[in-house]
Structure formats: structure tokens, C-alpha cells
Amino acid sequence: MSPRIQLGLPQSLRGAAAKLYWQAFGGKLGAVMGPDRLALGFLERAISPSHVITLTDETGALLGIAGFKTPGGSFAGGAPEDLVAAYGRIGAFWRSWMLERLSREIDNDRFLIDGIAVQSGMRGQGLGRMLVQALCDEASRRGYDYIRLDVIDTNWRAKALYQRLGFVAVKSERIGWLRFVFGFNASTVMVKPLV
């Protein structure tokens, strides 16, 4: 297998990217963004193809994605009209309110990762490491000295991977009562210098 990494998401892979993102983050977001059918509809509409690095195999099948967030947008953030189109006005209103409580600010000093996902059958083969390196390269290309991600307290495997890749935990943020909705208590901000 000879994976190919590229900046951006081809239109033909939008559906696959939405499905992969939902498989990776639906456990955390399901209570707010579900049911699956509506969440996938929202993601397919809302994902920004300019804010992602894609990893494909030699046939063009999607193996992994690594989204990022900049002052110009984010991979899976979407706009209010995307929420309304997927969930209706009432559904969009309360979902927007809940997600705003969970969202992280744009970090103008550090390149912000907005989700990494690898196809379940392809994990453990170094693809996540490849995506992180591609994000680091993109951050350096844009002039950043640091790259940042947030990892939830229940995702210890991801946290261990990021530590092996040179990320250091700089703070932990508890989410209070939102833990009853999202199923985790806190997230850890991890940063890696790029120089």
C-alpha cells in the first residue's frame, strides 16, 4: 500500500469523509448531533474541503482525514444555515446552543487541529502518524511555530499517541454539566513546537 496525502478534499470523497468523521466523533457528539442520518447529512453539507488533509490509497479510497481550524474556517464547523438545513429551525437552535458551549476558540498563535480520523480497519499502521506529520508540515508552511490539539479524557490511546509524537499537555479544561450530555469530563490541550 502506498498512501497519498493531499491538502484538500475532492468532491467525490465528501460522503466518505462525513461518514469517517462521524464514526470517529459520533460517540462524543451523538447526543447532540444525532440521529446518524441527520448528523451525516449535516456533515456532508458542512465540511470545508479547504480545511482538511486527506489520506487515500492507490485506488483513491479514503483512508484518513485530518481537519484543522483557522481564522478562515474549520473542517467540520459548518454555518447556521447548514444546521437549519439538516435539523430544522428548532433542532438547529438547541444544537447550536449546546455546541457553542463545547467549542474551542481559534488559536491565532498555534495551528489548531480539528479532528483526526483513520478508517477502523487501517489503524495501527502509522497512518495517524502520517496525518499528524502532514498537519505539522502545513502549520510550518503557514508560518506557525506550534501546533495544538484538544483530546478528551476518555481517549487515552490518542493522548498516548500524541505524546509519542512530541505533544505536551499544557492544561486540562473541565466541561462541567456538559459531561452528562457529551460523555466525558474534561479535555486536555496538547501543544507541539514545530522548530
The domains of the chain are located at 4-193
Cα–Cα distance, 102 to 97 (Å, whole number)? 9
Check: CATH 3.40.630.30 for 4-193? yes
What pLDDT does residue 71 have?
84
Indicate the pairing of strand 146-152 with strand 111-118.
Answer: parallel
- Indicate the pTM of the whole model: 0.89
Contact (CB, 8 A) for 136 and 194: yes
The per-residue pLDDT for range 89-108, each reduced to its tens digit, is 999 999 988 888 776 666 66
What pLDDT, on the 0 to 100 scale, is given for residue 104? Answer: 60
Distance between CA atoms of residues 145 and 142, nearest Å: 9
Cα–Cα distance, 5 to 12 (Å, whole number)? 16
Contact partners, residue 63, CB within 8 Å, separation at least 6: 3, 55, 56, 57, 118, 119, 122, 127
